[in-house]
Structure 1
Amino acid sequence: MSFSFLSSEEYDEQAHQLYDAGEYERALELLQDGLQRYPDAVDLHVGIGYVRLAREEYAWGLKAFEQALTLDPDHEDGWVGRGEVLLKFGRVEEALCCFRKIDDLGLTDDLELGLAIGRALYREALFRESRQGLVSLSAAHPEVAEVRAALGYTLHALGDDLGARRELRSALRFDNDLHEVRIYLSHLHFERGDLESALRDLEQVPPTEHWDALSVWRYIELKCSLDGCSERDPVLAPWRDRWEELKGEPDAIDHILAEVETAFEEAGGEYPLPAAPAVLPPTHPLPVLSAGAEMPLTAESHRVRTADGNIFIGTWEEIVIRMRDALSDPSEPVSSFMHRAAQRVRQLTGRDLPCDDAESFIRESARMGLLSIED
């Protein structure tokens, strides 16, 4: 493919459009062609770094960001990108140094950079560091809904449910169409037993804007229990249709349970023991929250490998959060994720999977053969 008449800025702009559309292969091809013509174009190197990051090619991404910073040591996107990649390798202190460089450049209050940093830290379960940056960013941009939402998610991860609900409500005041935020807030209401508020938020999101069967089914259940509807009520027809669509799309939890079910049948009805690490499939990097093999275990950290070969490292709570983000909808509360997994396990095996705390959830999953604890 030829792009002979494009300037470096046009290469960068078109690659951004492809990147936003998820067409990473074409974006990479375009950027590489641009660098053939403009080898010193810093933005093209940065663009390649982000495409490599999206493709989980972290070593190549790091190389691209470092090449950009060699050409321009003050390139802010280069520093943020380098920090994001270093987080994937578990090099947290180096990553934080990269993010602090943004402060040195006088860009502490930059909205896009601040959000990128806060979200990157959140994805790697560095919630306190994420909160620190997002609180500062929220003070500088108090009416930006995305900042308030990001802060709300982080506060919830830290156990501050009251603060999380406050920030999520603020986000919705500034942008009433943030459906994902409203669904998340509904889950928080449900967790604390405020069913009326949970229903009120769910019914403000059209069925087609729900992407997880849990929230759709919860709406149906709440309408029946609180408003006296029957499940076959015509008013619920669009919701039933959407639920059928979503429950027919297996997610990663379904795939893991399918593997266990196969092993269960092959064992003649005996539950398979967790496989030894040496005979499990090789691990593949996950797009969010998977821990790199280089990440050292601390005294509080554990290492877990799922039946399909994915590895998660952290405290028990961090591992469940990372499993939720990688295997399910990141907007789903952790408690709902564990309850949903437990329901599927019971349907498959008839056994109860404890879902009241992260450690019991993981240890019993290991005893069932769903995963292996390697520490």
Structure 2
Amino acid sequence: MTNPFLSSEEYDERAHALYNEARYDEALELLREGLTRYPQAVELHVGAGYARLAREEYAWARRSFEEALMHDPEHEDALAGLGEVLLKFGQVEAGLRAYDRTIELGYEDDVDLMLQIGRALFREGFVEHSLTFFERAVRNAEDSAEAVACIGYAQHRLGNDVEAMVALRRALVLDPKFAEARVYIANLLYDAGDLDAALLEFEQTTPEDHWDELGIWRLIELKKSVYKLKDSDGELKPWEARLVELAGEPDPIDELLAEVEQAAVEADTEDGHPSQDQLEALGSLLTGLVGQQQAGESPGEQGSGQANEPGAATTDVLMADNGTHRVIMRDGSAFEGSWEEIVQALRDARDAGRPLDEYMAMEARRFYGATGMRVASHAPEAFLRGSADAGMLRIVR
């Protein structure tokens, strides 16, 4: 529906509001309409660039930013957006030049812009460059807890944990309610082995303060360990509910692939090896699934570089021998038998009576909290192999 009486500024304001609500499709549709009426409106081209960027449509985003710069070569937001797109295309020198141009134009005192550029550099792995922009932000806003914390994040990524902790502590002094910095500190303490201090920091957060599952798993395990809480304890319920929120709805393709892996384990013939027909059928199913997934992607999604790789994991399962295996735990204890028998023995040693699937899911969560690595829990073999990859046990045979 057209809006015949809107000015270009009104189009920009309405699209910006939609963008802030993560309604990128609607924002882009509105910006397109605005550009048909005001094709030289720089702000509308810039807005379209950022909407495209959010949709991972990088080629189209680049076009929008370049169009904006044709009309205004010194537009700081267009330069920042173009710099991010160029980094994603691997044109690092050109991207850095676009960012440096904002400094040459005198925008160093624009704290929000410096943080935006710093975060983009950080996300793309140019941490040292990101640190210089974060430091510029702090020089112009010494009381900004957000800017100071960004220096802490960059220092940690560079391996400077002492400097990182100093910056993050300073951020909390500036804003004691800055939960993001506190969660980060708690995870640093956990990684350093100072579990009591980590729990103290975690306990000053709420479930809503967490936007990553790792900190919540660590908090749950620390509470259970220190306070001897049972899995069903009501104190853990809000944290478990937050985990469900963060996990979101399961992806149908991932669920189907998990079923295929489970079928592969169960499809062995009596002599302990899957038949050729079974292998071919499972391989065809996997190929079809991947094809269906790729066919359903938009051009922006194909360019995101996040395609699944189900083949490698499934090959391991298909080639597994269903005979006797032996695993050695970190404490030196050893278990032998089939994959299922080993998991049953582990379950009995730790939590006898719990259903096997619940035990694997619980242990997978504990391993994730301890290592940050996800461990499959839908089948005994996948669970044990994932646990070995996470360093929680060793498979001898």
TM over 0.5: yes
CA contact (8 A) 2:43 2:68 kept: yes
TM-score under structure 1 normalisation? 0.72
Change (3 A) 1:11 1:147: same
CA drift of 1:233 comes to 4.6
Deviation readout 1:49-82 (Å, 9 max, x if unpaired): 1111111111111111111100011111111111
Change (3 A) 1:44 1:263: same
Corresponding residue number in structure 2 for 1:64: 64
Change (3 A) 1:249 1:21: closer
What is the DSSP-based 3-state SS (H/G/I as helix, E as strand, rest coil) of the residue aligned with 2:133?
Answer: helix
CA contact (8 A) 1:259 1:307 kept: no
Corresponding residue number in structure 1 for 2:29: 29
Q: Give the root-mean-square deviation of aligned CA atoms.
A: 3.7
Change (3 A) 1:248 1:3: closer
Change (3 A) 1:241 1:12: closer
Q: Where do residues 156-171 of structure 1 align in structure 2 (5 Å cutoff)? A: 156-171=156-171
Corresponding residue number in structure 2 for 1:219: 219
What is the DSSP-based 3-state SS (H/G/I as helix, E as strand, rest coil) of the residue aligned with 1:341?
Answer: coil
What is the DSSP-based 3-state SS (H/G/I as helix, E as strand, rest coil) of the residue aligned with 2:374?
Answer: helix
Letter in 2 for 1:225: S
CA contact (8 A) 2:56 2:304 kept: no
Deviation readout 1:245-290 (Å, 9 max, x if unpaired): 35874667x9758625514523635799xx9xx99655979999x9
Q: Where do residues 262-277 of structure 1 align in structure 2 (5 Å cutoff)? A: 262-263=260-261, 265-266=263-264, 268=267
CA contact (8 A) 2:46 2:65 kept: yes
Change (3 A) 1:163 1:285: farther
TM-score under structure 2 normalisation? 0.69
Corresponding residue number in structure 1 for 2:373: 340
Aligned-residue identity in percent: 39
List runs of 5+ in structure 2 lacking aligned partners: 312-367
Letter in 2 for 1:262: V
Change (3 A) 1:250 1:24: closer
Change (3 A) 1:78 1:3: same
Change (3 A) 1:153 1:241: same
Change (3 A) 1:59 1:239: closer
| Larger radius of gyration between Structure 1 and Structure 2 | 2
Deviation readout 1:34-56 (Å, 9 max, x if unpaired): 11222211111100111111111
Corresponding residue number in structure 2 for 1:148: 148
Change (3 A) 1:119 1:193: same
Letter in 2 for 1:200: L
Structure 1 stretch 20-29 or stretch 228-237: which is displaced more? 228-237
Change (3 A) 1:132 1:285: farther
Aligned residues between the structures: 319
Corresponding residue number in structure 2 for 1:192: 192
In 1, distance between residues paired with 2:241 and 2:32? 45
The structure whose RCO (Cα within 8 Å, separation 6+) is larger is 1
List runs of 5+ in structure 1 lacking aligned partners: 294-303, 310-334, 357-363, 365-375
CA contact (8 A) 1:50 1:81 kept: yes
In 2, distance between residues paired with 1:305 and 1:353? 24
Q: Does 1:5 align with 2:40?
A: no
CA drift of 1:138 comes to 1.9
CA contact (8 A) 2:172 2:181 kept: yes
Q: Where do residues 323-338 of structure 1 align in structure 2 (5 Å cutoff)? A: none
Structure 1 stretch 337-346 or stretch 259-268: which is displaced more? 337-346
Letter in 2 for 1:341: R
In 2, distance between residues paired with 1:258 and 1:182? 38
CA contact (8 A) 1:213 1:246 kept: no
What is the DSSP-based 3-state SS (H/G/I as helix, E as strand, rest coil) of the residue aligned with 1:36?
Answer: helix
In 2, distance between residues paired with 1:251 and 1:189? 31
Corresponding residue number in structure 2 for 1:130: 130
